[in-house]
Amino acid sequence: MSQKSEFDIENVMKEVKENSLRYGFVSECDFQFIIGVAIMKLYKDATVVMEYEYPRDTLLKEGERQYIDILVIMNNKYYPIELKYKHKGCEKLQITNDLYCKLTNYSCTTEHRINYCEDIDRLLELRKTKEFNVAEGYAILLTNYEQFRNKTKSGRQQEKYLLYEDEIKDKGVNEIKAKYKEDYYMEWFDFDKFSYLLTKIYNKEK
């Protein structure tokens, strides 16, 4: 396992959960912004860039544009963060003591899991580039869908949704596991009425 990084994403998420006035997020962009604010509060010397576009010659297919949701730079080291926010509908999501909103309903699909795993693969590959001095990378999925985290009474029927390293059955995910072995780990955390899955990508050479 890699040595402890100077940038602690778990501490950032604790800051968002415990010290923010926010009780929920209206969108993925909203979630992204609040994480950025927490990073700037905890790491005042860090450079925080939202929606950073990859250089044209970096991991891109011809004509394709890709972005890093949040890029944190500290002491010339890079900490890319990819985010996913998948939720079921909520009639009354509390934003502040006086402000509420209604969340739209995203169906729980295996496509969400595939997209999250694609984020992991992209971050693993990003470590190889000369342009980025990647120290660690992070993929975060915030959700209130229990299917991603827990088996239900139907048991095996729900395995197609589960996001645990030893439970993901998709071919692409198994290829990632075989290729990179101990270069990353996954862990679920409670987040008020939601949960978030954190995958941390190590760079053992840094």
Query: Number of structural domains, the chain?
Result: 1
Residue 13, phi then psi, degrees to nearest 5: -65, -35
Q: Residue 61: inside a domain, yes or no?
A: yes
Least confident range from 12-21, 86-95, 119-128: namely 86-95
Tell me the average pLDDT of the chain: 77
C-alpha 12/C-alpha 130 separation (Å) is 27
Q: Residue 1: inside a domain, yes or no?
A: no
Least confident range from 66-70, 117-121, 145-149, 158-162: namely 158-162
Given this model, what pLDDT does residue 29 score?
92
Q: Residue 194: inside a domain, yes or no?
A: yes
Q: Is the pLDDT of residue 3 over 60?
A: no
More confident residue, 19 or 73: 73
Q: Residue 98: inside a domain, yes or no?
A: yes
Q: Residue 3: inside a domain, yes or no?
A: no
Q: Residue 4: inside a domain, yes or no?
A: no
Residue 145 identity: Y
Given this model, what pLDDT does residue 39 score?
97
Tens of pLDDT, residues 147-165: 666 655 454 444 554 555 5
Domain that holds residue 157: 9-202
Question: What beta strand segments (E) does 125-205 contain?
Answer: 136-143, 184-191, 194-202
C-alpha 94/C-alpha 102 separation (Å) is 9
Given this model, what pLDDT does residue 150 score?
65
Q: Residue 84: inside a domain, yes or no?
A: yes
Q: Is the pLDDT of residue 83 over 90?
A: yes
Report, as an integer, the average pLDDT of 12-27.
Answer: 83
Out of 13-27, 51-65, 74-88, give the one with best mean pLDDT.
Answer: 74-88
Given this model, what pLDDT does residue 128 score?
77
C-alpha neighbours within 13 Å on the C-beta side of residue 54: 21
Q: Is the pLDDT of residue 80 over 90?
A: yes
Written as six digits, the tokens of 202 are 């190590």
pLDDT band at 182 (very low <50, low <70, confident <90, very high): low
Q: Residue 117: inside a domain, yes or no?
A: yes
pLDDT band at 36 (very low <50, low <70, confident <90, very high): very high
Report, as an integer, the average pLDDT of 101-128.
Answer: 77
Given this model, what pLDDT does residue 171 score?
47
